[in-house]
Structure 1
Amino acid sequence: MASKLVQLQSKASQASQLVAKHGTSYYKQLMEQNKQYIQEPATIEKCNELSKQLFYTRLASVPGRYEAMQKEVEYVKQLWKNRKDLKVENLGIAALFGLECYAWYCAGEIVGRGFTFTGYYP
């Protein structure tokens, strides 16, 4: 166990040295490549305006998303009506999707509790 800790410390040290050596140049390169997205001057008023634009743009996309969701629900209803025609592959995909949804729910619950497991007190 101690040897793994030493290995982990060594890898962390190497990573921090790499970031210290190349971090500034990477940052400059990233900013140069994306300068068209930078708002000048960066004032509080402009940041508030951009924030509101993002919020209301997202809000305006809700009807389209709702319509897409309704189409998906109708598709699932049709599949359920014709469930005798379903193939095993489709049932397997549906089962995996349900399992994935449940796993995300469980992960969200764990994150919501501050990464603690019920009944586990260190």
Structure 2
Amino acid sequence: MAAARLQMLKTKAAEASRFVARNGCAYYKETMEKNKKYVVEPPTVEKCQELSKQLFYTRMASLPVRYEAFWKELHGVKNVWKNRHELKVEDAGIAALFGLELYAWFCVGEIMGRGFTLTGYYP
């Protein structure tokens, strides 16, 4: 069983390799042509490092704004919880469905992470 899977994997890898060898250059050129407005000139390692640092520190600068938004959201949830006796059935149903959807995505993610097996057994 394992040998058959290994052979199938080798076959698929070889097919993918041939596809990339035939179409990879054209795909690269097409993608670069479509997205040339995003390329910074000159495309050097130094420029890439500079852009990487800009991205990192820009994200760091956005942390206080996201921190405040988190606390506003948390206070909103606390207010809803305090006034839960005024909560309508529709709102509770929407919240329950949202929680159920999150749980379902978690389960699907776990199954995918185990290689689409339900038991976690790898043959």
TM normalised by structure 2 equals: 0.64
CA distance 1:66–1:114, shift in 2 (3 Å): farther
Matched, 1:80 2:81: yes
Q: What's the CA shift string for 1:34-92, capped at 9, x where partnerless? A: 33321111111110111111111111111111111111111111101110111111111
Paired amino acid for 1:40: E
- Larger RCO, structure (CA 8 Å, separation 6 or more): 2
List alignment gaps of at least 5 residues for structure 2. 1-18
Q: Distance in 2 between matches of 1:103 and 1:66?
A: 28
What residue in structure 2 maps to residue 103 of structure 1? 104
Q: Tell me how large the CA RMSD over aligned residues is.
A: 3.3
Letter in 2 for 1:120: Y
Q: What is the CA–CA distance in structure 1 between the aligned matches of 2:29 and 2:88, rounded to whole Å?
A: 51
Whole-angstrom CA distance in 2 between matches of 1:114 and 1:44: 37
Q: Closer, same or farther in 2 for the Cα pair 1:51/1:97, shift >3 Å?
A: same
Aligned to 1:54: 55
Equivalent-residue separation in structure 2 for 1:25 and 1:72 (angstroms): 44
Q: Match for residue 70 of structure 2?
A: 69
Report what 2:11 is aligned to: none
CA distance in 2, matches of 1:108, 1:25: 31
Counterpart of 1:93 in structure 2 is: 94
Query: Normalization by structure 1: what TM-score?
Result: 0.64
- The CA distance in 1 between the partners of 2:55 and 2:117, in whole Å, is 34
Change (3 A) 1:104 1:32: same
Please give the secondary structure, in 2, of the residue aligned with 1:99.
Answer: helix
What percent identity do the matched residue pairs reach? 66
2:41 alignment partner in structure 1: 40
